[in-house]
Amino acid sequence: MKILKTKKEVKQQLFTYRKDARTIGLVPTMGALHDGHLNLVKNAKRMTDVVVVSIFVNPTQFNNPEDLAKYPRTVETDLAKLEAEGVDYVFLPEVAEMYPKPTGLTFDFGDLERILEGAFRPGHFNGVGVVVAKLLHIIHPDKAFFGQKDLQQVAIIRRMVDDLAFDVEMVVVPTSREKDGLAMSSRNGRLTAEDRKHALVLFESLTLARKELLAGKPWFEVQDKISHKFNLVPGVELEYFELVRTNSLEVVSTIDISEQTTGKEYSLCTAAYVGDVRLIDNLPI
């Protein structure tokens, strides 16, 4: 496994593979790797010839400086995990390499960036769009691998890829979960033992809401029931719990069963503070 620090190194190392028509897979991460990330790596290794994992804590997607400062950084451990998985290259740039000067360009993803996460994290998706665009331009992967847990981020990146004609295939991998259902996240390590138990209310609420909706219960009745459930858990503050169309992220209040051809036309999305840690999750219906 080779560690690359600069755009020039990436270009030099990957040139031969492209010339030989070997496929390149990219797994973009911010480090603090867990089994969910490693599952993305496993998919990339299965579907492409050469796997590149990027580790970069992108400052422009944090609207809260305190959140950026607290974001876990475990580079040595991350590298050991990636080497054990047989990753070919790790792109590990410094901030100055990715942002030699402030970015003047801004993305506007329309309503897609102003709902759900966008409503609570202004500017977040512009930062995501810029850094992912940079990574796609630098690495030129044939396939890029993303986790379904960040459903809105996936929708944002898909729109950018489609609208700007990036020559890359997006591969979305189902959310990796702990045995008790908690979605794997780098932020989980910041939870206290007590908060870790309380965090289960996210997945429990998603599964309950899905069951109620499929039983024919009205959405607003379900949403009210879920809000009450969150209120009963100490130290947990619900930010949103919404029913959306999976691909467009349009917030809706009913499910049209006739559209349920694949079982994934709709999803439930939620975000909540558990203690001082903000967690997100979603579940296809």
pLDDT score recorded for residue 64 = 83
In the annotated binding site, the residues are 30-37, 61, 147-150, 153, 184-187
Q: What's the mean pLDDT in 23-27?
A: 98
Catalogue the active-site residues: 37
pLDDT tens-digit readout, 231-272: 999 999 999 999 999 988 999 999 876 665 555 789 999 999
Query: Is the pLDDT confidence value at 22 over 60?
Result: yes
- Average pLDDT, integer, range 112-139: 94
Q: What is the pLDDT of residue 261?
A: 55
What pLDDT does residue 257 have? 67
Per residue in 67-92, pLDDT (tens digit) is 888 888 999 999 999 999 999 999 99
Extract the annotated binding site for ATP: 30-37, 147-150, 184-187
Write the DSSP assignment of the chain as a string of letters: -EEE-SHHHHHHHHHHHHHTT--EEEEEE-S---HHHHHHHHHHHHH-SEEEEEE---GGG-S-HHHHHHS---HHHHHHHHHHTT-SEEE---HHHH-SS--------GGGGTSTHHHHSTTHHHHHHHHHHHHHHHH--SEEEEEGGGHHHHHHHHHHHHHTT-S-EEEEEPPPB-TTSPBP-GGGGGS-HHHHHHTHHHHHHHHHHHHHHHTT--HHHHHHHHHHHHHTSTTEEEEEEEEEETTT--EES---GGG-SSS-SEEEEEEEEETTEEEEEEEE-
Structural domains in the chain plus CATH codes: 2-173 (3.40.50.620), 186-284 (3.30.1300.10)
What average pLDDT does the chain have? 94
Place of tokens 């755009």: 7
Q: What is the pLDDT of residues 47-69, one digit of tens each?
A: 999 999 999 999 999 988 888 88
- Binding residues for beta-alanine, by number, are 61
Residue 275 has pLDDT above 60, yes or no: yes
Q: What is the pLDDT of residues 147-160, one digit of tens each?
A: 999 999 999 999 99
What percent of the chain shows pLDDT beyond 70? 97
Residue 135 pLDDT class (50, 70, 90 cuts) = very high
Q: What is the pLDDT of residues 186-212, one digit of tens each?
A: 999 999 999 999 999 999 999 999 999
